[in-house]
Structure 1
């Protein structure tokens, strides 16, 4: 039994409090336990919660001491087969679970492929997709922006960036959107169809390469295998969909509820970048992340960490650490931990691509519908792991296409 498993003062990292006041909960944990806290995950599975900015920086920087291969975890024997967090921790062949030279090979190829994306063309593509989405509801005078807008743009843009034809990308979005909130079986069926679509795409690009991400991965001199390419494409698509969707929704919500942003809705685009940045500091889409595994006994933040202990990366908590962001302090810089850090952080230039998609989505919306008004109070999705809006209903003056 590890030291963290013996703790009787471990904090449950689940429950209603995280939906209503996650920032308050993180501050309470830090005040009581310091920068590294003993916590219990769902099912009362013990782990260490890294909520200090400097400690999180240390964990994410030292990939040798705090490794990514979750097969090292010393708690597997305590986990039931139906544990809801298994999808986050079960090792799979994607780049997310690789280490050392293999990780650098895979991550380098993925970064090079993403770096080949023409960011000006991507911005234009996102603006066109956003315009088409708004056209569908502009005449109604009301919309629910999460399902009708924010959720539709990132996946479609990323799919087309990966070489999926526009018609197929549109159907893919409709397929994914159709199962949100439905049964696990339906969601798994859609995931299977997404895998099949990506496999067909890779097969096609091998014969007819183009200027797209899978073609660059296939041509990379590190000679990636089919399983590697397929799994990494799925990571790109799914991560871009969930996190960028919430980044867009959280930013629109901020601009509709905070006067210092709302007053510029009818005029200034300059505030959109500020709003996007503030969301990453205060309401970052990825709140916490599983995880890292200690490869040997060590100490961190005054805690004794055993080999095999599970570390939960408290991204939102670290962003709010008063050691680096005093109360009321400016958040104009980009030193937040929202995209992780180190060699296992979000690969370059994925954060820049996500920002292009999010910024274009918000800018087109406020240009087209400058008198947006929130018609219900914001309702946040209940999750320790992500921060996003359940719904974003708005009203506006109807506009009709010529």
Structure 2
């Protein structure tokens, strides 16, 4: 059975998962099982995998479920203006679509470059930029902590780690958020980011420094400057938006769930607990595109044909009742969530650590600087962005007692 011919496929677009993703996943699992036929924008068929074991099988077998988008059996039906092309492209020179030994070499280059980031320096950057952002809002007593803080912090830290100057940071923040917004400014944002990355790589090729870009260029596997630019752009986008949503979703949980009330008065353990709960129950990266079957196969009782697209339902797998005994624990000794993926195409472990440091430091600075922070609107009125892929708050209005800015120094 192909996705298009399966009974009642789910239209996987727009606000499907905006309000009640847990309920939507339960209904899809009830009606279709662990592998769900879905229809993407433009009536394009695919499979969405919600089963924990099935997702483990897919991500652990890159030979059968390949990252090579050239295998897709729907390319002849895809128009040039298909809205998901930026996410599901073909012949893209980035690490996302590299397979086999070349992918392993490329992943090794990224891991080496990220592993060398000094953890004390990383936390220092995160704290400094977080303080600067709080300085801009603390005298007012009100703020949108998502759009005025969470959506601005990760990219500032990442640009500094990659080798950009502090002066270049704000324009790169604007460019990346314009790309994510996906509207009329998206192309201009992408152009600015690509141009800036190209200039940085050119400069570091001539004069290396102690940064991620220079370490990538020092790799001896023979990657071109264009490949390094593409990977830096992928790392920037993949590192910024999910980390921003991790901050926003964690603060939302802490401000709306009484279990975390104590953390608003200086607690630290609750910050880590809230961040971990978000990864299990409200993960920023809900679904990922994609893998493509390299031959006909069976998955979760479904017949998957060669070239079919398979979407990774990370949040669906995290909440799979077949491996969960309750809302938070897994049976069988398995305690690994899928929020960072799995297998050779997962988020590299050093990148996970960097994201966690940025998110946790940012949240701690918010709670230090705005200790009586509270929601400015009823919790029921808050909304999420209408995307089936990334889950984050559209806004998070808060109030707090106005305080003077630090002016760049903590005492």
TM interval, short-chain normalised:
over 0.9
Does 2:390 match 1:386? yes
| 1:124 aligned partner | 124
| 2:288 aligned partner | 289
| 1:58 aligned partner | 57
Q: Cα deviation per residue 1:282-310 (whole Å; 9 max; x = unaligned)?
A: 11111111100000111111111111010
| 1:299 aligned partner | 298
Distance in 2 between the 1:181 and 1:103 partners? Answer: 29
Distance in 2 between the 1:325 and 1:8 partners? Answer: 28
Does 2:229 match 1:230? yes
User: Contact 1:55–1:300 at 8 Å: present in 2 too?
Assistant: yes
User: Contact 2:175–2:192 at 8 Å: present in 1 too?
Assistant: no
1:192-211 paired onto structure 2 within 5 Å? 192-211=191-210
In structure 1, stretches of 5+ residues that fail to align are none
User: Contact 2:370–2:401 at 8 Å: present in 1 too?
Assistant: yes
SS of residue matched to 1:18: coil
Distance in 2 between the 1:240 and 1:334 partners? Answer: 23
User: Contact 2:52–2:317 at 8 Å: present in 1 too?
Assistant: yes
Shift of 1:333: 8.3
| 1:374 aligned partner | 375
Q: Cα deviation per residue 1:330-381 (whole Å; 9 max; x = unaligned)?
A: 4898611011100011122111110011000001100111110111232111
Distance 1:99 1:121, change over 3 A: same
Distance in 2 between the 1:143 and 1:268 partners? Answer: 22
User: Contact 1:4–1:48 at 8 Å: present in 2 too?
Assistant: yes
Q: Cα deviation per residue 1:95-154 (whole Å; 9 max; x = unaligned)?
A: 000000111111110111111111221011101110010001111001111121001110
| 2:183 aligned partner | 183
SS of residue matched to 1:358: helix
| 1:219 aligned partner | 218
User: Contact 2:367–2:373 at 8 Å: present in 1 too?
Assistant: yes
Q: Cα deviation per residue 1:224-268 (whole Å; 9 max; x = unaligned)?
A: 111110000001111111111111100110100000112321021
| 1:354 aligned partner | 355
1:127-142 paired onto structure 2 within 5 Å? 127-142=127-142
What is the number of residues matched between the two proteins?
A: 400
Does 2:159 match 1:155? no
Distance 1:182 1:43, change over 3 A: closer
Shift of 1:281: 0.7
| 2:402 aligned partner | 398
Distance in 2 between the 1:233 and 1:30 partners? Answer: 37
> Which piece of structure 1 moves more, 367-376 or 13-22?
13-22
Distance in 2 between the 1:44 and 1:171 partners? Answer: 37
| TM-align CA RMSD | 1.7
Distance in 2 between the 1:342 and 1:45 partners? Answer: 27
User: Contact 2:16–2:388 at 8 Å: present in 1 too?
Assistant: no
Distance in 2 between the 1:241 and 1:296 partners? Answer: 35
User: Contact 2:176–2:237 at 8 Å: present in 1 too?
Assistant: no
User: Contact 2:130–2:362 at 8 Å: present in 1 too?
Assistant: yes
1:244-283 paired onto structure 2 within 5 Å? 244-283=243-282
TM-score, normalised with respect to structure 2:
0.94
Distance in 2 between the 1:17 and 1:345 partners? Answer: 26
Distance in 2 between the 1:313 and 1:392 partners? Answer: 28
Distance in 2 between the 1:350 and 1:76 partners? Answer: 32
User: Contact 1:287–1:385 at 8 Å: present in 2 too?
Assistant: yes
SS of residue matched to 1:143: strand
> Which piece of structure 1 moves more, 112-121 or 172-181?
172-181
Distance in 1 between the 2:4 and 2:132 partners? Answer: 52
Shift of 1:179: 7.4
User: Contact 1:147–1:177 at 8 Å: present in 2 too?
Assistant: no
Shift of 1:15: 4.2
Distance in 2 between the 1:385 and 1:294 partners? Answer: 21
> Which piece of structure 1 moves more, 229-238 or 76-85?
76-85
Distance in 2 between the 1:27 and 1:213 partners? Answer: 42
Distance in 1 between the 2:163 and 2:74 partners? Answer: 41
User: Contact 1:36–1:49 at 8 Å: present in 2 too?
Assistant: yes
Distance in 2 between the 1:130 and 1:79 partners? Answer: 42
Distance 1:235 1:179, change over 3 A: closer
Shift of 1:158: 0.3
SS of residue matched to 1:96: helix
